[in-house]
Amino acid sequence: MRETLILLFGQTIQMFLVLLIAPGIAGITRRVKARFMRRQGAPIIQPYRDLIKLVRKESVVAQNASWLFRSAPYAILAFTWVAAALVPTFASGLMFNWAADALALVALLGAARALLALAGMDVGTSFGGIGSSREMMIATLAEPAMLLVLLTMALTAGTTRLPEVAEFLISAPITVRVSLALALVALIIVALAENARIPVDNPATHLELTMVHEAMVLEYSGRHLAMIEMAAQLKLVLYISLIVCLFLPFGMAPANAGPAAWPVGMAVYLVKLVLGAALLGAWEVSIAKMRVFRVGEFLGGAFVFAFLAILLAFVTREVLN
Amino acid sequence: MNHAYDVSHLLAGLMIVASFALLYQDRIFAVLNIFAAQAILLSMAVGWEAWTQQRPHLFITAALALGLKGIIIPVALHKMIVRLGVHRDIDQVVGVGKTLLIGLALTSLSLMLVLKVTATAESFTREGLALALAIILLGFLMMITRRNAITQIVGFMSLENGLILAATGARGMPLVVEVSVAFSVLIALFVFAVFVFRIRERFDSVDIEALEDVRGDTK
């Protein structure tokens, strides 16, 4: 009984931890970008202030908006939050580990994306429609690659449950695995596309020709916009955590270690997260945005890498057994 | 899980990635650089095999691969391109996306086939043969999809990289055969070069589409 309570407590900590640090991570990325451009940049806590400001403001809704438009932000935040709370962060073996399945994760994110695309089209403005259509194009290319990456990991570790994959990689002897390297490249490309980052989309622009994510949420304001911004920031934390959990799980508290190992695991996790956010900022200033019609080739590259990864993992498994 | 297997798997896997990069890349100098990288990976793979399997004559094969295909042939092709004045982009028959999908299908096919057929052989041979067949088929695909004579030569050479990899995986390929194959590839380069210059002289381009007009069977 006591054990169960402790595990539940750990899971609760993780849930609120990801929610609490998400705006900060976005702030770090923006700050790093600004510094590389030799600007002062907003303080790291600026995203928190923005969110508070948006929550306080009145939210303006278009006259012909349906119930979907008003309820979508809450549902999107909920789906993303659940997904982010399931990815193992500082410890594995928490309360809801059995639910932290890679395929469930993709499904949750897919549901959030479908709602966002529907909400983008709801009011009937042309920008929302074009944003939704582009988002769906990117999603149809990114999702197969993402699934292939997760299946490669599952083939290597023998399970699709993320905490168990992480534990397997920590305990396995260190070897050179070309399939894992290819899967990492593919997952990074998918993460850039899914988080509307350069070179696929620019999170800092409102230029009509190029925007994807911003075009869909153009009609939102006030607390609805705050929900959607929060969901986007959570998604970024989710993807960085996923990459860290699958490819750099070292330092994570193992399942049988108990709460005593959690502070160390948390410190290591936060360091990895901040490093990831800083690297993202450095990457974004060093590359130009792609034309929308070239995104297909970029994400096709991710698909090819992921497919090769799974083929090579398959060869290794066949040959060695 | 042994060290020897991991490294040879890594090198062969990177050769496949280089094959896909050759299919994807449409700038002519970049194609040459990737080809040189693939040949260097090949020589490393062969050298590693020689080291771990105690087969010293394979070192000669590795040195041949490095010297001929890693250095001499790319440099020669580079000079040829400069003399022909074709630094522009390569045009392809099918789009990049379709080519890559066909490439993935061919890779899966060769892996499925070889792993099924060689179920009783030892692991090094199976792995080497499976990946080598994939590289050979990707080389064929590159020759089919490219219209530029020079990148077709690169496709042929990368196909030959796969042959050497297959020969290394299988035991008992005599050194004489390998040396003669290596030199016949060099001779092939000269023949290709003469051909390319003749094509250019005749049609003012190295796009082999121009040859279609003189076939005489369609019109």
Looking at the predicted structure, is the pLDDT value of residue A91 above 90? Answer: no
Q: Residue B20's closest CA among A186, A315, A308, A295?
A: A308
**For A29-78, how does the pLDDT look when each residue is reduced to its tens digit (9 = 90+)?**
999 999 999 999 899 999 999 999 999 999 999 888 899 999 999 999 99
Confidence band, pLDDT 50/70/90 cuts, at residue A121 = very high
Q: Which of B63, B53, B24 is nearest to B164 (CA)?
A: B63
The position carrying tokens 């410190």 is A267
Higher pLDDT, B59 or A93: B59
**What's the one-letter identity of residue A246?**
L
Closest Cα in chain A, distance from residue B19 (Å): 12
Yes or no, beta carbons of B97 and A314 under 8 Å apart = no
* Average pLDDT of the residues in A120-146: 91
Q: Does B171 score more than 70 pLDDT?
A: no
- Work out the minimum CA distance from B79 to partner chain A, whole angstroms: 31
> DSSP state, B207?
B
Residue B81 confidence (pLDDT) above 70:
yes
Per-residue confidence (pLDDT) for residue A29, from 0 to 100: 94
Instruction: Kindly list the residues from chain B whose CB atom is less than 8 angstroms away from the CB atom of residue A173.
Output: 1
Residue of B nearest to A310 (CA): B108
Looking at per-residue pLDDT, the higher value among B207 and A92 belongs to: A92
DSSP classification of residue B89: B
Say whether the ipTM exceeds 0.90: no
Question: In this structure, are residues A79 and A112 in contact, taking their beta carbons and an 8 Å threshold?
Answer: yes
Phi/psi of residue B148, nearest 5 degrees: -85, 135
User: B119: buried, middle or exposed (CB in 10 Å: 19+, 13-18, 0-12)?
Assistant: exposed
Is residue A176 scored above 50 in pLDDT? yes
**By the 8 A CB rule, do A200 and A295 touch?**
yes
What's chain A's average pLDDT? 89
% residues pLDDT > 90 (chain A): 55
Confidence of residue B1 (pLDDT cuts 50, 70, 90): very low
Flag if A178 and B10 touch (Cβ within 8 Å): yes
Task: Identify the bridge partners of residue A91 per DSSP, sorted by sequence position.
Answer: A253
Average pLDDT over residues A170-184: 82
Question: According to the per-residue pLDDT averaged within each range, which of A42-56, A203-217, A278-292, B20-34 is highest?
Answer: A42-56
- Give the bridge partners for A253, in sequence order: A91
pLDDT at residue B92 tops 70 = no
Mean pLDDT of chain B: 83
Residue B89: pLDDT band with limits 50, 70, 90:
low
Q: Count of CB contacts below 8 A, A vs B?
A: 60
Q: Who wins on pLDDT, A294 or B107?
A: B107
Task: Give long-range contacts, CB 8 A cutoff, 24+ apart: A9-17.
Answer: A9/A259, A10/A91, A10/A94, A10/A95, A10/A259, A10/A262, A11/A85, A11/A94, A11/A95, A11/A96, A13/A262, A14/A85, A14/A89, A14/A90, A14/A91, A14/A94, A15/A81, A15/A85, A17/A89, A17/A90, A17/A266
In B, what residues contact A, Cβ < 8 A?
1, 3, 5-7, 9-10, 13-14, 16-17, 20, 24, 96-97, 100, 103-104, 107-108, 111, 115, 123, 126-127, 130-131
Q: Are A14 and A94 in contact (CB under 8 A)?
A: yes
User: Has residue A98 got a pLDDT over 70?
Assistant: yes
Q: Residue A135 in contact with residue A113, Cβ under 8 Å?
A: yes
CA B187 – CA A79 distance, rounded (Å): 63
Q: What is the pLDDT of residues A232-267, one digit of tens each?
A: 999 999 999 999 988 888 888 887 777 888 888 899
Phi, psi angles (nearest 5°) of residue B122: -80, 160
